[in-house]
Amino acid sequence: MVAKISSGNSIFGALVYNQTKVDEQKGKVILTNRMIEPRDGNYTIGGCMRSFDPYLTANQKTESPILHISLNPDPKDILTDDQLSEIAQEYMEKLGYGNQPFIVYKHEDIDRHHLHIVSVRVDENGKKLDHNFEYRKSMEICRHLEQKFHLIPADKKEKQPVTPIKAIQYGDENLKSQIASVIRPIVKSYYFQTMGEYKALLSLYNITVEEIKGGTADKIFNGLVYSAINDKGERIGKSFKSSLFGKTVGYEALQQRMAQSGEIIKQKQLKERTRAIVTKAMKLPLNRADFEKQLSANNINVVFRYNDANRIYGVTFIDHQNKCVLNGSRLGKEFSANVFNELFTSSKESNGNQSQQHTNNHIGHADEPKIKSQHNTENFDDSLNLFSMETNGGIDSEEEAFIRRMKKKKKRKKPI
């Protein structure tokens, strides 16, 4: 069984996503905990929001107080609703949410029936619940439940082949399709916290992105434009607005992805592997090219940024194993640009290597990085998460009135 944990700030969006499945008869509520029971047994969005409202109103500091979990047994596991309810209840109790209000939906829209659980990360006093090592704890709970209910272990499943992400080749047919084939899966699978980190990642695939702003005094517009780049990091050919590729790679989606990434990187402790490998490589008497080769052997790319004097002013590490992009400053002061300038100077890097500072060799795909990328870049259940979905399907007038009151209530300033 596989568990996926997400955080968000819209309880409304999470409930709408699941209620839509119920309205379409592709899902149903199979379990609730500390929720207001409807008289007719039919849970509605407004009714559920009343259960969560006291916790969210009391919340003072937590920016992403909504918890949304999906539990995914193997398709070959045949389980009754009672068994699924028992699994969900035990999972939430062991994860530390046994005293929280939560609602469990069973989704039946695909052959792989699975569960979605909506809850809150703050208690009735507005204090955030401890979620240190939550992902590790979740995996341990899943292994326990697999044994208890005789489920097919997740680590025994056959791995599905992954289509490699290839660097685009300018001059080949359909540049737009090439760019789309890179940016869509990257935004969905990689964790990055700034536009600069995102641009460093894209540079591995001969792509760059620029932020554009416009509008009037009353309304400001933010958008993105994607372009192909050559070996020197210069834009070539036609540029494409992000809207041509869909909302998932647009400005708002990226802002949301960057905000989520920070919390996920912290929870999963994704920095640790990258820091350990880079630290080990820095202790070896290597020049820049050998340093990059050492990291590449561990499935990590490094992107250096150079000024006109050929001094490094920025460094970004892309760990393809844990799908994490980290500026050197995030790893610590010992990974700053000045440290690498001194490191490569003391290692007496040859003039031949110096002349290759702005060379970018193509790579086959992200899982087998071969690139030496030094483009001159600047610091900026899917990538648009479930909490941003706000449709009005299945809401009656009474619920709409309640939801409007809720939204007005949240706009009021809380007393200090």
How confident is the model over 121-130, as pLDDT tens digits?
999 999 999 8
Mean pLDDT computed over every residue of the chain: 82
How many CA atoms are closer than 13 Å to the CA of 88, on its beta-carbon side?
Answer: 29
Q: CA–CA separation, 54 vs 413, rounded Å?
A: 16
Q: Regarding predicted confidence, which is higher, 64 or 387? A: 64
Is 3.30.930 the CATH number for 2-158+390-411? yes
Dihedral sign (CA 248, 254, 258, 263): negative
Span(s) in the chain for CATH 3.30.930: 2-158+390-411
411 confidence band (pLDDT: 50, 70, 90) = low
User: How much is the CA Rg of the chain, to the nearest whole Å?
Assistant: 24
Residue 248 has φ and ψ, to the nearest 5°, of: -65, -20
| Residue 408, pLDDT above cutoff 70 | no
Asked whether the beta carbons of 116 and 26 are under 8 A apart, the reply is no
Which one, of 136, 4, 15, 3, lies nearest residue 66 by Cα?
A: 15
Count of CB atoms within 10 A of residue 148's CB? 11
Q: What is the pLDDT of residue 369?
A: 37
Q: What is the pLDDT of residue 156?
A: 55
Question: Where is 313: in which H helix or E strand?
Answer: strand 312-319
Please write the tens of the pLDDT for every residue from 190-223: 999 999 999 999 999 999 999 988 777 677 778 9
Q: CA–CA separation, 239 vs 245, rounded Å?
A: 12
Q: What is the pLDDT of residue 371?
A: 35
Structure tokens at 274: 């990258």
Please write the tens of the pLDDT for every residue from 252-279: 999 999 999 999 998 888 999 999 999 9
Dihedral sign (CA 271, 277, 280, 281): negative
Lowest mean pLDDT, pick from 38-47, 56-65, 91-100, 160-169: 160-169
Lowest mean pLDDT, pick from 10-14, 39-43, 249-253, 344-348: 344-348
Please write the tens of the pLDDT for every residue from 84-112: 999 999 999 999 999 999 999 999 877 67
Surface-to-core class of residue 209, CB atoms within 10 Å of its CB (0-12 exposed, 13-18 middle, 19+ buried): buried
Structure tokens at 73: 């047994």
Asked whether the beta carbons of 295 and 301 are under 8 A apart, the reply is yes
Predicted TM-score (pTM) of the model is 0.51
The winner for highest mean pLDDT among 57-61, 107-111, 117-121, 148-152 is 117-121
| Residue 396, pLDDT above cutoff 90 | no
Q: Which residue has the tokens 């007005």?
A: 408
Q: What is the pLDDT of residue 109?
A: 78
How many CA atoms are closer than 13 Å to the CA of 360, on its beta-carbon side?
Answer: 26
Please write the tens of the pLDDT for every residue from 1-22: 999 999 888 999 999 999 999 9
